[in-house]
Structure 1
Amino acid sequence: MKWLRRPSWFALLLTLAGALLFMRLGVWQLHRANEKEAILRRYAAAENEVPRDFAGVAMTPPANAFARVRVQGEYLADRAYLLDNPRHDQLGGVEVYAPFRPQGSDRLLLVDLGFLPGNGTDQAPQLPPLPTGEQALQGLYLPPPGVGFEMGGNALARQAHWPKTTVYLDLPQVAGDLGSLLYPQVLALDDDQAAIYVRAHVLDFSAMPPARHRAYAFQWFTFAVAAVVIFLMLHRRRPSKRRTSHEQA
Structure 2
Amino acid sequence: MSWLRRPKWWWVLLTVAGALLFVRLGVWQLHRADYKDGLLRLYAAAASAPLQDFDSVSAEPPATAYPRVRAQGHYLVDRVYLLDNPKHDGRGGIEVYVPFRPQGHDRLLLVDLGFLPGNGTDQQPQVPPLPTGLVTLQGLYQPPPGHGFEMGGDALGRQAHWPKTTIYLDMKQVAGDLGRTLYPRILTLDADPAAIYVREHTLDFGSMPPARHRAYAFQWFTFALAAVVIFLVLHRKKRRPKSKSPKP
Q: 1:39 to 1:106 in 2, by over 3 A?
A: same
Q: 2:195 maps to what in 1?
A: 195
Q: 1:153 maps to what in 2?
A: 153
More moved, 203-212 vs 76-85 = 203-212
What is the RMSD of the two structures over their aligned residues, measured on CA atoms?
2.1
Q: 1:220 maps to what in 2?
A: 220
Kindly provide the amino acid, as one letter, of the partner of residue 31 in structure 1.
H
TM-score w.r.t. the length of structure 2 is: 0.92
Give the gaps of 5 or more residues in structure 1: none
Summarize the alignment of residues 80-159 of structure 1 with structure 2, pairs less than 5 Å apart. 80-88=80-88, 90-159=90-159
Partners of 2:145 and 2:169 within 8 A in 1: yes
1:234 & 1:122 partners in 2: Cα distance? 60
Partners of 2:73 and 2:103 within 8 A in 1: yes
Report the CA distance between 1:201 and its aligned residue: 2.3
Q: 1:185 maps to what in 2?
A: 185
1:188-220 C-alpha deviation (Å, 9 max, x unpaired): 000001111000122235854323422331232
Q: What's the % identity of the aligned pairs?
A: 71
Q: Secondary structure at the match of 1:220?
A: helix
Partners of 2:87 and 2:93 within 8 A in 1: no
Report the CA distance between 1:23 and its aligned residue: 1.1
2:31 & 2:244 partners in 1: Cα distance? 56
Partners of 2:19 and 2:223 within 8 A in 1: yes
Partners of 1:92 and 1:117 within 8 A in 2: yes
Q: 2:230 maps to what in 1?
A: 230
2:85 & 2:121 partners in 1: Cα distance? 16
Q: 1:204 maps to what in 2?
A: 204
Report the CA distance between 1:69 and its aligned residue: 0.2
2:70 & 2:119 partners in 1: Cα distance? 32
Partners of 1:87 and 1:204 within 8 A in 2: no
Kindly provide the amino acid, as one letter, of the partner of residue 216 in structure 2.
Y
Kindly provide the amino acid, as one letter, of the partner of residue 90 in structure 2.
Q
Q: Secondary structure at the match of 1:92?
A: strand
**Structure number with higher helix proportion:** 1
More moved, 71-80 vs 13-22 = 13-22
Q: Does 1:245 align with 2:243?
A: yes
Q: 2:74 maps to what in 1?
A: 74
1:77 & 1:48 partners in 2: Cα distance? 29
Q: 1:166 maps to what in 2?
A: 166
